[in-house]
Amino acid sequence: MLEEKSAGLVIFRMDGGNPSYLLLHYGWGHWGFSKGNIEAGETEKEAAIREAKEETGLNSFTFFEDFREKIEYFYKRKGKRIHKEVIYFLVETEEKEVKVSYEHKGYKWLKLEEASNLLSFNNTKEILKRVNEAIEKVAYLNHD
Ligand code: ATP
């Protein structure tokens, strides 16, 4: 079986006392976080940062150093079954202006519940849940 490994960033910015998450609309049709293939010689984190810059036009990220979560899935390309692993890191940005690359059809900044509803796959919904818990540990969030 073919193996693929990607790395990505869950990107949020604080807005009105709680986080807004950046979701990208993939050409495949689904909504997810920024990610891409890890190239030879790159660390997971380097790949995730490079891809996020290319895919969103954002430049500056503050990492939650303890956050590193993995998802796995299978898909088929040209009739071949592929096992894929994606490692996600968590970052905050203060930038708002997003410029998606040709790879994506659009983007949205969304609060937790709306982001969870729009994410297409349960594994990324689960990542979002863990991300929110990690942010709640360190920030006082406005739940009004
Ligand atoms: P990358 O952004 O890592 O370069 P890609 O754009 O080539 O990846 P994926 O986003 O992995 O490809 O999508 C490949 C296939 O897997 C698509 O059919 C997509 O619907 C499916 N897929 C994408 N993300 C997930 C997921 N989190 N869980 C299950 N299936 C997924």
73 lines ligand 1 (CB under 6 A): yes
Res 1: pLDDT: 85
Domain positions in the chain: 2-142
27 lines ligand 1 (CB under 6 A): no
Q: Which CATH class is domain 2-142?
A: alpha beta
Atom of ligand 1 nearest to the CA of 124: 27
Q: How far away, in angstroms, is 34 Cα from ligand 1 center?
A: 11
Are 54 and 34 contacting, i.e. CB atoms less than 8 angstroms apart? Answer: no
Atom of ligand 1 nearest to the CA of 86: 3
Work out the end-to-end distance of the chain between its first and last CA atoms, rounded to an integer number of angstroms.
49
Please list the pLDDT of the chain residue by residue as tens digits (144 residues): 899 999 999 999 999 999 999 999 999 899 999 999 999 999 999 999 999 999 999 999 999 999 999 999 999 999 999 999 999 999 999 999 999 988 899 999 999 999 999 999 999 999 999 999 999 998 766 665
Q: Whose CA is nearest to atom 7 of ligand 1?
A: 36
Q: Is the pTM of this model over 0.85?
A: yes
Atom of ligand 1 nearest to the CA of 27: 6
Q: Whose CA is nearest to atom 8 of ligand 1?
A: 36
> If you compute the radius of gyration of the chain from its CA atoms, what whole number of angstroms results?
15
5 lines ligand 1 (CB under 6 A): no
Buried b / exposed e across 126-139, counting CB within 10 Å, b at 16+?
ebbeebbebbeeee
Q: Whose CA is nearest to atom 19 of ligand 1?
A: 28
Res 144: pLDDT: 59
Distance CA 95, CA 64 (A): 17
